[in-house]
């Protein structure tokens, strides 16, 4: 399973489920389908695999299986809260388990947490990305402020999906602070037309290329994209997938 980062839950507020009834239903389905849950205690070096034993709606409690490692259970209880990740029908589920205490369940020791007030429910398809061509890169154009000369600066894409894109800021000119939004952006999609959107920075990573030059990979989320433009984007992504699958079939 993909690693959980605390920043994830901040980035995906739009995918929060806060309905108590829906949270209980989702957790019960996870338990009924015996889906394994990764419980991250303190970093990826301390992960426990657990499962839902019971959802006690009346008491507002979530009963989880304990680790087989006694010392790990002690660390869980000392931490008081952990991040949990699982999948339900190919949908990624993230939630924080808090108020952890030891409790007896069905004649054995278990862990009891408070029912989460919210969880993140991610359709995996929304975060699927497809690599864009390298030889003839797709360009995104972002308006620049007057102090940088004004006009639109172009940036080659690394990948793109229904939820966002990653661009390469080779000249390191963007103010790539997480949460920063760039209005009036446009992406020129080959054979699909131009789409318009606001881009919100979600992450930025500096890269050292093979020629020792430094670049920056900036991950952005789409906001305020017109529905017609989203349809054009979906058509372009579908075409890229077909081309990729055809290449893979040719190599088989």
Annotated domain spans of the chain? 6-124, 128-251
**What's the pLDDT at 126?**
55
**What's the pLDDT at 234?**
86
**What's the pLDDT at 7?**
40
Q: Is 49 helix (H, G, I), strand (E, B) or coil?
A: strand
Residues 6+ apart with CB under 8 A from 165: 129, 140, 157, 158, 159, 187, 199, 219, 220, 222
Q: What φ, ψ does residue 25 adopt, rounded to 5°?
A: -65, -45
Q: What φ, ψ does residue 32 adopt, rounded to 5°?
A: -65, -35
**What's the pLDDT at 243?**
81
**What's the pLDDT at 155?**
96
Each residue's pLDDT expressed in tens, for the chain with a length of 252 residues: 343 444 444 456 657 888 899 899 999 999 999 999 988 886 556 788 899 999 999 999 999 999 888 898 999 999 888 999 998 876 788 999 999 999 999 999 999 999 999 998 876 555 567 888 888 899 999 998 777 677 899 999 988 988 899 999 988 889 888 889 999 999 999 888 899 999 999 888 887 766 667 888 999 999 989 988 988 998 898 888 778 767 766 654
**What's the pLDDT at 14?**
59
**What's the pLDDT at 102?**
93
CATH ID of 128-251, from 2.40.10.220, 3.30.70.260, 2.40.30.170, 2.60.120.20: 2.40.10.220
Q: How far apart are CA 193 and CA 10, in angstroms?
A: 33
Give me the half-sphere count of Cα atoms (radius 13 Å) on the Cβ side of residue 108: 8
**What's the pLDDT at 43?**
58
pTM above 0.85, yes or no: no
The CATH topology of domain 6-124 is Pnp Oxidase; Chain A (2.30.110)
Q: How far apart are CA 12 and CA 19, in angstroms?
A: 16
């Amino acid at each position: 399973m993909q690693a959980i980062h605390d920043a994830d839950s901040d980035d995906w507020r739009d995918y929060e489920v806060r309905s108590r009834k829906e949270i209980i239903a989702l957790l019960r389905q996870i338990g009924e389908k015996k889906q394994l849950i990764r419980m991250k205690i303190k970093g990826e070096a301390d992960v426990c695999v657990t499962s839902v034993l019971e959802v006690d709606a009346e008491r507002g409690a979530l009963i989880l299986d304990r680790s087989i490692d006694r010392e790990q259970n002690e660390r869980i209880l000392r931490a008081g809260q952990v991040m949990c990740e699982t999948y339900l029908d190919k949908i990624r589920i993230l939630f924080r388990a808090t108020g952890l205490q030891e409790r007896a369940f069905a004649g054995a020791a278990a862990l009891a947490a408070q029912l989460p007030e919210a969880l993140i429910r991610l359709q995996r398809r929304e975060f699927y990305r497809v690599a864009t061509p390298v030889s003839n890169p797709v360009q995104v154009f972002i308006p620049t402020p007057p102090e940088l000369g004004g006009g639109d600066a172009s940036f080659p894409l690394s990948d793109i999906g229904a939820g966002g894109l990653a661009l390469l800021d080779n000249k390191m000119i963007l103010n790539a602070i997480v949460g920063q939004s760039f209005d009036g952006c446009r992406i020129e999609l080959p054979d699909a037309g131009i789409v318009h959107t606001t881009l919100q920075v979600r992450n930025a990573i500096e890269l050292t290329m093979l020629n020792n030059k430094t670049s920056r990979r900036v991950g952005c989320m789409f906001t305020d994209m017109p529905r017609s433009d989203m349809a054009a984007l979906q058509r372009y992504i579908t075409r890229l997938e077909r081309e990729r699958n055809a290449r893979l079939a040719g190599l088989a």
